[in-house]
Amino acid sequence: MIESSPLSPAGDRHFDGLAEKFAGSLYGGPRGALRLAMLDALLPEMLDLDGQPLLDVGGGLGQLSAWFAQRGHAVTLLEPAGDMLDQARQMLDSLPVSFVQAPLQALPERAAGPWPLVACHAVLEWLSDPRAAFATLAESLAPGGQLSLMVFNRDALRFSNVVKGNLQKALDDRLEGTGKRQRLTPISPLCHEQIVAWSRECGLSIRSVAGIRIFHDYLRHPPTSEADWQRLVALEHRYCQEEPHWRLGRYLLYTLVQEERTPEEKAR
């Protein structure tokens, strides 16, 4: 029997058929709650927000789109997986959000911009060519436009594998998932150095960076009371932009800005 591949023709892991699992295993538990709590605190600190239109690329179930739409941004959510998009449509029913079913690679045709604000959270690590995708995101930005980028951190993946006792896997540096099963281990986890290099290539400057879940995923004793949960959130917030802690965040959250260049600079 020939097994159909869950990968798209471009080799990306679209989340078709994963909506329930993703909703339950991430957003249904403390990891998702912590991510949302951190974004709630950090997005207003890391971005200049004045109600500008937002493109949410690979918007999934729509949690991030909801955050922006509830704050007055007209949101366009671009997502290739039909069942993710259906759930997002239901959740965002009453909010100013429009939906485009398409992959990031179709952005120039389907949601051209240029955009003053683009978000792409937890998507690049599911693509076979995240570098090309990064360039597409950069090109969609207006001069001075901001990209809120969140990526799954390869260094943190190594650390957590060692903490869990997967020593041979870590020694062999076999960290990435295959994307072929129902496991949610990304196929292209990324390093900070890649984001630095790609930003330089694309004329983006890194305005700020933070680690998301710098402590939580390594805890031996997860919080069991609301008071301890609040202490953990306070610690995550206090150290998420401090050396060395941000570097081991499970995700790295960036604000990248398209530098405004003169026509002469562009021609060079």
Ligand X SMILES: C[S@@+](CC[C@H](N)C(=O)[O-])C[C@H]1O[C@@H](n2cnc3c(N)ncnc32)[C@H](O)[C@@H]1O
Binding-site positions for S-adenosyl-L-methionine: 35, 58-59, 79, 121
12 binds ligand X (CB under 6 A): yes
- Our CB check for ligand X shows the closer of 127 and 210 to be 127
Near ligand X by CB under 6 A: residue from 117, 122, 149, 151: 122
* Angle (deg, nearest 10), helices 226-239 and 30-46: 40
Near ligand X by CB under 6 A: residue from 42, 103, 147, 251: 103
**Minimum CB distance to ligand X, residue 75 (Å):** 12
Count of chain residues binding ligand X (CB under 6 A): 22
Q: Which stretch binds ligand X (CB under 6 A): 69-77, 116-124, 230-238, 252-260?
A: 116-124
80 binds ligand X (CB under 6 A): yes
- Our CB check for ligand X shows the closer of 95 and 167 to be 95
81 binds ligand X (CB under 6 A): yes
Find all residues with CB under 8 Å of 45, minimum gap 6, and list them: none
Near ligand X by CB under 6 A: residue from 66, 123, 151, 190: 123
79 binds ligand X (CB under 6 A): yes
* Angle (deg, nearest 10), helices 192-202 and 130-139: 40
Binding mask 31-70 for ligand X (x = CB under 6 A): --------------------------xxxx--xx------
CB atoms within 10 A of CB 22: 19
Near ligand X by CB under 6 A: residue from 73, 121, 158, 250: 121
Find all residues with CB under 8 Å of 187, minimum gap 6, and list them: 13, 125, 126, 127, 128, 176, 177, 178, 179
Find all residues with CB under 8 Å of 156, minimum gap 6, and list them: 211, 217, 248, 249, 250, 251
Buried b (16+ CB within 10 A) or exposed e, 167-190: eeebeeeebebebeeeebebbbbb
d(CA 81, CA 16): 5
User: Which spans of this chain sit near ligand X (rule: CB under 6 A)?
Assistant: 12-15, 57-60, 63-64, 79-81, 84, 103-105, 121-123, 126-127
